[in-house]
Amino acid sequence: MIEKNDIICAVTDAIGSNGEGIIKHEGITFFVPACLPGEKVRFKVLKIKGNIGYGKAEEILTPAEERVREKCPVFLRCGGCCLQHLDYSAQLSHKATVVKDTLRKIGGIQVSVPNAIRSDFPYGYRNKLQIPVGVDKDGQTVIGFYAEHSHRIVPITACAIHPEWSEKLIATIKRYMTECAVKGYDEENKTGALRHIVAREIGGKFIVTLVTAKRELPNLPYLIGLLSEIFREFSLYLNFNNEDTNVILGKEFQLVHGIGVFEAEEQGIYYQAGPVTFLQVNENVRTKLYKDALKTVCKDGDEVVIDAYSGGGLLTAMLAKKAKRVYGIELEPEASRCADMLKVRNGLVNMTNICGYVEEHLPKVMEKEKGEKVGLILDPPRSGIARSVTKALLESGIEKLTLISCNPATLARDLGILAGRLIEEEGELVKNPAYEGVAEGETLPGYYEIERIQPYDMFPQTKHVETLVQLSQKKPDSIINVKIEFGEGDGELSLKKIAERIEANKPKEKVTYKMIQDYIEETYGFKVHTAYIAEVKRDLGLPMYDAPNAVEELKKPRQHPSEKMVKAIEETLKHFEII
CB 235 within 8 A of CB 257: yes
Give the residue-averaged pLDDT of 481-493.
73
**Is the Cβ–Cβ distance between 415 and 103 less than 8 Å?**
yes
Highest mean pLDDT among 90-94, 443-447, 488-492: 90-94
DSSP symbol at 559 = P
The rounded distance, in Å, linking the Cα atoms of 133 and 185 is 7
Which whole number is the average pLDDT over 124-142?
95
**Has residue 216 got a pLDDT over 60?**
yes
Which amino acid, 558? R
Catalytic residue, chosen from 82, 159, 298, 406, is 406
Closest by alpha carbon to 44, among 34, 72, 36?
Answer: 34
Amino acid at 461: Q
Give the number of other CB atoms < 10 A from CB of residue 310: 30
State the sign of the Cα–Cα–Cα–Cα dihedral 97, 99, 100, 101.
Answer: positive
Q: What is the DSSP letter of 486?
A: B
Q: What is the DSSP string of 38-101?
A: T-EEEEEEEEEETTEEEEEEEEEEE--TTB---S-TTTTTSSS-S-TTB-HHHHHHHHHHHHHH
Q: How far apart are CA 459 and CA 95, in angstroms?
A: 11
pLDDT band at 134 (very low <50, low <70, confident <90, very high): very high
pLDDT, tens digit, for every residue of 270-308? 988 889 888 889 999 999 999 999 999 998 889 999 999
Estimate to the nearest angstrom the gap between the alpha carbon of 59 and the chain centroid.
36
Q: How many CA atoms lie within 13 A of 173 on its CB side?
A: 31
Q: Is 406 a catalytic residue?
A: yes
Closest to 183 measured CA to CA, from 197, 193, 174:
193
Helix (H) / strand (E) containing 410: helix 408-418
Task: List, for residues 516-565, the tens digit of each pLDDT value.
Answer: 998 898 888 889 988 888 888 877 766 654 554 554 555 555 577 888 89
Tell if the pTM clears 0.85, that is, is over it: no
Q: What is residue 301's predicted lDDT score, i.e. its pLDDT?
A: 87
Is residue 498 predicted with pLDDT exceeding 70?
A: yes
Q: Read off the pLDDT band of 573 (50, 70, 90).
A: confident
For 347-366, write each residue's pLDDT tens digit: 999 999 999 999 899 989 98
- Helices 408-418, 88-107: crossing angle, 10 deg rounding: 40
Dihedral sign computed on CA atoms, order 536, 542, 545, 547? negative
- Rounded (10°) angle between helices 530-539 and 513-524: 100
For the stretch 141-150, pLDDT in tens is: 999 999 987 8
Give pLDDT, residue 548: 47
From 100, 122, 49, select the one nearest 460 (Cα to Cα): 122
Tell me how far the alpha carbon of residue 429 is from its chain's centroid: 20
DSSP state of 310: -
Find the mean pLDDT for residues 403-423: 94
**pLDDT value at position 397?**
84
Q: What percent of the chain has pLDDT over 90?
A: 64
Question: Across residues 447-454, what is the average pLDDT?
Answer: 95
d(CA 470, CA 107): 16
Edge to edge, the sheet with strand 234-240 lists 153-155, 141-146, 128-135, 194-202, 205-212, 234-240, 252-257
For residue range 175-209, list pLDDT tens digits in order.
999 999 999 999 999 999 999 999 999 989 999 99
* C-beta separation of 432 from 422 below 8 A: yes
Q: Which amino acid is at 408?
A: P
For residue 312, the model assigns a pLDDT of 86
Beta-carbon contacts of 377 under 8 Å, excluding residues fewer than 6 positions away, are 293, 297, 305, 306, 307, 308, 315, 319, 401, 402, 403, 404
Domains in the chain: ranges and CATH? 1-67 (2.40.50.140), 128-265 (2.40.50.1070), 513-575 (no CATH)
